[in-house]
A = this chain, B = another copy of it.
Amino acid sequence: MNIDLNAAHEEFRRYLKKEKHRITPERFEVLDYALEFEGHFGADELFLKMKNNNSNVSRATVYNTLELLAACDLLAKRNFGENKTRYEAKYGRKSHDHLICTNCGSIKEFSEPAIEKIVKEISEKLGFEPTGHSFNIFGKCTNSNCKMRQNEQNNS
């Protein structure tokens, strides 16, 4: 875990240098908190978590740094239709897409190689240079808590 963290720092440092951004302690603090987060998180959520841990990093810096981390592929930028940007640690992880339960909000991941192939084919056909994609499946999951909520709603 610590090895990963150092390697991630190193990668971020390289990116910042290459793009002529300054190397500041705040940026690495954001990176640490982001990688520590399990699952998806919003920018404000991360900012508040840092604030609660007595970090002095400002909201503006958190928002700005998350953009940089997404740009250099240490984080993935997501949007699950809630009108807020979500991030997810990507460093060293396999790329994947998501199933989102519209009833209980739970999110499952899946990998399907055929999707990359489709991205390539469609882009080529339409004269487009793809840089990424987002594929979300919406529906109802079979989680028992979820079913409970469905029944509650039906009864109300």
Contact = CB atoms under 8 A, between A and B. Distances in A.
A135 B138 contact: no
Interface in A74-100: 77, 79, 81, 83-85, 99
A138 B129 contact: no
A44 to B, nearest CB: 12
A118 interface: yes
Interface residues of A, number: 36
Contact of A128 (B81, B99, B129, B134): B99
A25 interface: no
Give the most central of A79, A110, A126, A137: most B CB within 10 Å. Answer: A137
Interface string A104-122: 0000101010110011001
A137 B126 CA distance: 12
A126 B138 contact: no
B139 A122 contact: no
Q: Which of A108, A119, A134 lies at the interface centre, i.e. has the most chain B CB atoms within 10 A of its CB?
A: A134
